[in-house]
Each structure stands twice: as structure tokens, then as C-alpha cells.
Amino acid sequence: MNPRTKAEFYLLSITFIWGSTFVLSKYLLGYITPLAYIGIRFSIAALLFSLIFFKQIRTLTKGAAIKGGILGALLFSGFAAQTIGLQYTSASKSAFITGMMVVFTPICQLIIERRAPKIGNIIGVVLVTIGLYLLTSPAGSAFNVGDALNLFCALMFGLYIVYLDVFSKGLDTAQLTFMQFVATAALGLVGAGLFEHVSVQLGAEPVLVLGYLTVFATVIALYIQVRFQKDTTPTRSAIIFSIEPVIAAVFAYLTLGEVLGTLGVIGGGLIVGGLLVSELSPA
């Protein structure tokens, strides 16, 4: 298995984990305010990660600290917009609008890295965009403030994917990941203190959900993304991540009874088709 194929396999695997997070995060917002949730989730992630990768982190370089902090700020911006937006829109709709990062990523890549995507990637982006439109415009579900926040989240995640491609080369994966956790946690806790009437009411079940989101969707998933994304392109990564909304929709249907309808199913098919076109395009 060549490095790019291996990397894209790992990125696809964490997409399944992230697809489950929309429903679970929406559930947790019934027990904790959004920014406090982000602050606590990433604080625990930073602590766990520091215990696992203590040897690498104790030699933290200035470059990793600065670039990890910048990536953490982008990550926080995206997570904050997405989490706050989840209070005003459905889990499946939030996931599909966040999937618009597949549109923003090649634009950001062209502006920041001066790298144009391949024709197969462009076709994939077009198919995914049409699919996302069908998925996010069902009858009786008008565009609202939650959708707008998730669209901003998609832009931030697009920027994050491109800057991760820029920053990850030549830096220690563990150091870069750890600093992202620290920056996101700090911004979440400070933001909660400044802008929220913080409320945390966690029982046994919410704690288990928070544990899953922290260990699997944060520590493991983000480490894998930082480790392997540099072996493929930002545009290809974004298109792989675009299957996340389809997974989220299945979870939302099974747990919350959210239904996509015929257009939603067609949209999901176009997303998968766009993913395959991009993956099968020449390197």
C-alpha cells in the first residue's frame, strides 16, 4: 500500500468516528453550555495526550508551539461555530453544511499554497456540492442562524485543512497535535468565562458520551489527521471528509428520527459518487 493510499484509508476511518459526533454533541448540549463543553473536552484531551506522548512533548519546539497554536485557533473557531449552531439546527443538517468545507478547501489551497486541484478533484467537488445542496435544502427547513454558523465552521475547517498541510511538514506530529489541544481548550474555557452563563450538569451517561468524544473523536482522530494528512492533498482530504455527513445522517435517523427524504438520499449518493471520482482520479 503506497503512502497516499494508506493515509487516505486512515482519514476515511476517522471520518466514521466524526460522523457520530453531531448527534452526540447535540445530546450533550442538553447538559452543558457550548464553549464550556469545548473547553472541558479539549482540556481532558490535552491531559491524556500529554501522558501518552510525554517524551515528545517535553522537547516542544518553538515552531510547533506557534504553528500548533494557530491551528488550534482555527480548530476552536470551527468547533465553536458548529457547537453553538447545533442549538439551532438539526444534527444531520449541521453535518451536511459542515461538509461544505469540500468547497472551501480547494479555494483556500489555491490562495494560500498556489496549488490548483486536479480535474478529477474538481469534478468530485462539484458532485459533492450538488449533493450537499440537495441534502441541506429539504422542504420546510429554511436556512437559519444555526446553518449560518455551520457554514462559517466549514470555512474554518477548510482553512484548517490547508494550514495543516502547510505546517505539518517537518514538525513532530505529537507536539503539533498537543498544542492544538491546548489552544482549543484555553480558548474554550476563556470564551465560556466571558460569554456564557456556564452550566455543567453531567450524569453517568453524559460523562460516557463526553469520554467517547474526547478519546476517540479528539485524541485519536486528530492525531491520525495530523499524522497522515500530509501524505495526500488538502482537496483530496476534504473530499474524503465529505462522506462524514452521510454517516451523521444515518446516526441522526437511527437515534433522533431525523429523515432526509428522497432528495436527501440522492444528495448522499452524489456525495459518495464525488468521493469515488476524486479517489479514482490520476495522482
6-50: per-residue pLDDT in tens?
Answer: 999 999 999 999 999 999 999 999 999 999 999 999 999 999 999
In the structure, what pLDDT confidence band is assigned to residue 94 with cuts at 50, 70 and 90?
A: confident
Spell out the SS3 assignment of 198-232. Answer: CCECCCHHHHHHHHHHHHHHHHHHHHHHHHHHHHC
Q: Percentage of the chain with pLDDT > 90? A: 59
Residue range of the domain that includes 166: 3-115+142-231
pLDDT tens digits along 215-271: 999 999 999 999 999 999 898 888 888 788 888 888 888 887 877 677 877 887 887
Grid cell digits, residue 180: 492544538
183: in domain: yes
| 254 within domain boundaries | no
Three-state secondary structure call for residue 99: coil
Determine the average pLDDT of the residues in 156-165. Answer: 95
Residue 177 lies in a domain: yes
pLDDT of residue 279: 65
Query: Is residue 51 included in any domain, yes or no?
Result: yes
Residue 268 domain flag: no
Grid coordinates standing for 230? 500530509
CA distance 24 to 91: 9
**14 is a domain residue:** yes
Instruction: List pLDDT tens digits, range 200-218.
Output: 998 999 999 999 999 999 9
Cα distances (angstroms) measured from residue 196 to each of 36, 136, 193: 8, 29, 6
Task: Give the count of domains, the chain.
Answer: 1
What are the C-alpha distances in Å from 224 to residues 32, 91, 92? Answer: 28, 24, 24
What residues does 200 pair with on adjacent strands? Answer: 32
> Is residue 192 a contact partner of residue 198, using CB atoms and an 8 Å limit?
yes
